[in-house]
Structure 1
Amino acid sequence: MIEIGSRARTLPAPPFAVWDSLVEPRRPGARPWLHLLADEVDPGVLAAEKPSQVVWSSLWPSRPNDQVRFALTASRDGGTLLRFTLLAADEAPDQSKTGHLRRRLNQLLFADLRFSYGQ
């Protein structure tokens, strides 16, 4: 696997809540946050270790072998430091596509997911 992107930011919810959101993003009763584009699909959970790790399958049918790995650690303020790492199993995409994939993960996690917690 080739790392093609990584970023860490804090979220206001504790690790167990963020882990739940990543493992079951469309859980009944949860606030919706996984708003996909037409060229994206719901990710599958390939591995999970509560409350510190989650691995998703690719969101992009055009790149079916990619993975998104998440590392969750408690932050000092009671929230979560969430790091995503985007991994390509095949050849890395060109610079434009790589930028698009990174931007989408940033939007989904550090805007949409963050706002689902009310902040």
Structure 2
Amino acid sequence: MIEAHDVRTVWVVYKNTDDIEGRGRQYISNVCELEATALRIGRGKYVMGSNCPIKAVTSYRIDGQWYQPSPVVPASDEDKGVQKKIDTERSVSGRAAKAIEAAQKMGLSRDHIEALQEAIPTAK
């Protein structure tokens, strides 16, 4: 039996064999360490210049080798900075959603919550 010693999430960038109408088949273009890298690589490179779809997939390290659909593109320094922003935004929006839920349970109306969101721009 094969044992996977480490597991990590990598980000897959998909392209289409028909760049004009999208009637071709989707294929994996790149596998990236960070979501930010996948977003950068896929920007404007899909059908009719749209952004490529990306998807998180699981990669497994077996006997010192990572296995996923194709080689992993290393993150650039810029990607690392963008990824920190992505992670921070997700964290802030998750905490804000929990705070809104708690406020509603305490009896604040939707109008009151919206007023607070307008007063504090980062709460949206």
TM-score range, shorter chain: under 0.3
Larger-Rg structure: 2
Quick one: higher RCO (CA 8 Å, sep 6+), 1 or 2?
1
Higher relative helix content: 2
Higher relative strand content: 1
When normalised by structure 2's length, the TM-score is 0.24
